A and B are shown apart, each in its own frame.
Chain A
Amino acid sequence: MSLTRATLVKDLRLEWRSKDAINSMLFFALLVVVIFSFSFDPTAEESRQIAGGLVWVAFLFAAVVALNQTWARELRNQVLDAYRVSPAPANALFLAKAFGNFIFVSVLEALMTPLFIVFYNLRALGPAYQLPMVAIAGTWAIVVNGTFFAAMSLRTRSREIMLPLLLFPISIPALLAMVEATTAILTGEVSAKFWIVLLVAYDVVFTTGCLLLFETVLHAE
């Protein structure tokens, strides 16, 4: 646990000083929002129907930017090799990275959501208190697998492109759940309960999977 905290604090401090990940994510998401609103130019009613999809696609693409940097920064000076030979549990490292990414993506979402509301005239007609639940479960769903696959794609040629190729197919049920839950809450026509339960199930299944397999993947030779 102390190792998780130490790595997390180190990553946050690095990010606080450089602001590489958060700046590139923010600008990227901003571009996506602007381009989407140009290409659709929806009315308030339509935007309720499509906003769920737009928001999550923007966040997913932006998250990949941060996820790609997760492990890449450990390659400099062979830090990752040092982790590998150290007796520290691999899962502590994994959790630190996943929490770190969770914080980055959450900050991004907190900053971008007001922009979405302004650009698309959004107002939830359903129970708005469910939106943070969807956001937390959805962000974790992207981040936990993203951190894992980023560690995998680190070992491949052209690793920057490999991450989305691995992450997106596996994330399809989670994405569907996030988009449908958000749309259900915004339009207030149907209940979002099933989708939230599905998201939580996805989180539980894949968090377990990541923790079981991360050590194997970290030590793959």
Chain B
Amino acid sequence: MKRGFTIFALLTAVLLSYALYQALEVAPTERTMGDVQRIFYYHVPSAWTAFLLFFTNFVASVAYLIRRNPKADALALVTAEVGVVFCTVVLVTGPLWARPVWGIWWTWDVRLTSTLVLWLIYVSYLMLRRFSSSGQTPVLAAALAVFGALDVPLVYFSIWYFRTQHPQPVIGGGGSIAPQMLHVLLINWLAFLCFAVLICWSRYRLERLRQELEEVQAL
């Protein structure tokens, strides 16, 4: 177990460096946007990773409500924490790119706003976990996670109707991307995903130890 973690950590480090090299050196410079566009290799993989983590959090929360397994609760907690971190990266890198390209830092567009609302929901989730007494935290948090998931489509539709400016998704959205860029993007996503799994793994072990300690202390 411990050795597996070390090997995985080394692999992730190598992969992250390779992805960095790919994004900064190998990927072709975009014709109109120039080097600013390279932030795309961090922005998009972080977004995908964050959404995947939030989805895992939802699944783990539902599993906890049904089975009451503390492992599911630990998984829900760590995916929410790491998800908020990646979501923050998305929300910071977005405006950095938007300022030179769109000329504005922020706009109330559907993807931006939905991501922001999702971030707000998960920050409130973490605050609830922090402020509730330990015995009830898992149930309350799981209930809130389900509410957050119910909210996502409503948020999306409401803001979609409100306004839209974000570039269409380049993959599966009718847009086109140079194959070389796609290649770099996917490598970066893989690296970020491994990084996320690595942090989740380490945080999960810590949380399980904390749970065990709490059980022992309760005896």
Show the binding face of A for B, using Cβ within 8 Å. Answer: 145, 148, 152-153, 155-158, 162, 165-166, 168-170, 172-174, 176-177, 180, 194-195, 198, 201-202, 205-206, 209, 213, 216-217, 220-221
Contacts and interface: CB of A to CB of B under 8 A. Distances in A.
Contacts, number: 91
A152 B132 CA distance: 9
B161 A152 contact: no
Given A173-B154, A198-B154, A166 B124 contact: yes
B20 interface: no
A148 B127 CA distance: 17
18 contacts: A148-B147, A152-B128, A156-B131, A156-B133, A158-B131, A166-B144, A169-B117, A170-B121, A172-B117, A172-B155, A173-B117, A173-B151, A173-B155, A173-B157, A206-B147, A213-B143, A217-B139, A217-B143
B120 interface: yes
B143 A166 contact: no
A156 B128 contact: yes
A135 B151 CA distance: 20
A148 B151 CA distance: 15
A209 B159 contact: no
Interface of B: 65, 117, 120-121, 123-124, 127-128, 131-133, 135-136, 139-140, 143-144, 146-148, 150-151, 154-155, 157-159, 161-162
A150 to B, nearest CB: 12
A103 to B, nearest CB: 24
A145 B135 CA distance: 23
Contacts of B161: 194-195, 198
A120 B121 CA distance: 33
A152 B133 contact: no
Contacts of A168: 120, 124
B117 A220 contact: no
A132 B159 CA distance: 23
Contacts of B135: 220-221
Contacts of B127: 162, 165
Q: Report, nearest first, the 3 A-B pairs whose CB atoms are least far apart.
A: A220-B139, A169-B120, A173-B158
Given A158-B131, A162-B128, A205-B154, A216 B139 contact: yes
B144 A156 contact: no
Given A166-B144, A169-B117, A176-B162, A216 B154 contact: no
A205 B153 CA distance: 11
Given A173-B155, A217-B140, A180 B162 contact: yes
